[in-house]
Amino acid sequence: MLESCYIGIDTSNYTTSVAVANEAGEIIANLKSPLPVKEGGRGLRQSDAVFAHTKNLPGLLDRLAEVLKGYRPAGVAYSCRPRDAEDSYMPCFLTGAVAAHAVAAALDIPIETCSHQAGHVMAALYGAGATSALSGRPFGAFHVSGGTTEALLVTPYEDGFGIRLLGGSADLHAGQAVDRIGVKMGLAFPCGPHLELLAKENTKKIPKPRISVSGLTCHLSGLENLALKLLSDTGDKPLVAAFVLRFIADTLYAMAQEIRREHPGMPLLFGGGVMSNRMIAQDLTARLGKDVYFSAPQFSADNAAGVALLCRKKFLE
């Protein structure tokens, strides 16, 4: 008898993703295709993202068909909106809906939905090896990416999560700041991986960042001006890259401390594209101590693994 599996589809503003989880809750495929951005660009309009997903999905679904050989698909889920909020909507997620409904109809399997953010939380849990450790325990989560910089209170349920927004950025998102500064330095979009490589080359003392955090609200718009001034004053790209990462780490550290002030001893999970950065992860892990979880990069950046795992939870529970 063929083993059951569960399919997840995610169509964010940066990556087309398809993933498959097996009956044991292991990811057996995590397929991705980034959305192309023109040289010097800092992102995509929604109309361009929808077009790019439409071009990416046939190839990914062909690869999915190969993965499914030897398995019995039992369900498919897709991310239908950015967050778990009634007014949360982005057109790019409609492409995932079309693909998921086509898969469900062709395979005669049930279909489920979740938010992109819930998928990120689930994927980060899996990628950090924390699925069992945080099972049934409320925890704080940071979703830090190009479109989101938010602190969350997550309550696990048998079939998913309850997610409550605690705070976040009042202006620029961390990923936006990284990409704006990176593009100005001539780096390719998305700039995060290139910025991290530059930062590793730095050997100089990093100027102390003047962060702006009040409770669980942060401001990141000043980071761009400070970084570009440092670049103008020094011309030192590795130093600027290290300064940007330190600024983000200091900001998240201050917010994490506030969560633990309000909820002593609460575990903390970090996910989202910006949290793929190993330098930030090492910095925060050293400062925050125990019960701090960072996902492996492939499950931190945009992916459909969390959607597939949530699909499995919904149908098994």
All structural domains of the chain: 3-128+301-316 (3.30.420.40), 168-294 (3.30.420.40)
Evaluate if residue 196 carries a pLDDT over 90.
yes
Check residue 85 and give its pLDDT.
Answer: 84
Return the structure tokens found at 102.
Answer: 């086509």
Evaluate if residue 304 carries a pLDDT over 90.
yes
Among residues 284, 22, 269, the alpha carbon closest in space to that of 123 is found at: 269
Q: What is the mean pLDDT of residues 108-136?
A: 96
Q: What is the mean pLDDT of residues 289-306?
A: 95
How does pLDDT run across 216-240, given as a tens digit for each residue? 999 999 999 999 999 999 999 999 9
Q: What is the mean pLDDT of the chain?
A: 95
Check residue 20 and give its pLDDT.
Answer: 98
Evaluate if residue 87 carries a pLDDT over 90.
no
Among residues 110, 121, 8, 4, the alpha carbon closest in space to that of 60 is found at: 8
Evaluate if residue 5 carries a pLDDT over 90.
yes
Per-residue pLDDT band for 90 (boundaries 50, 70, 90) equals: very high
Any idea which of 37-51, 57-71, 148-162, 198-212 has the lowest mean pLDDT?
A: 37-51
Check residue 1 and give its pLDDT.
Answer: 83
Query: 215 and 257 in contact (C-beta within 8 Å)?
Result: no
DSSP-assigned beta bridge partners for residue 270 = 142, 294
How does pLDDT run across 243-260, given as a tens digit for each residue? 999 999 999 999 999 999
Query: 56 and 287 in contact (C-beta within 8 Å)?
Result: no
What is the rounded CA–CA span in Å between residue 211 and residue 213? 6
Check residue 38 and give its pLDDT.
Answer: 82
Per-residue pLDDT band for 15 (boundaries 50, 70, 90) equals: very high
Among residues 309, 307, 313, 310, the alpha carbon closest in space to that of 97 is found at: 307
Return the structure tokens found at 64.
Answer: 């999915």
How does pLDDT run across 39-55, given as a tens digit for each residue? 777 778 999 999 999 99
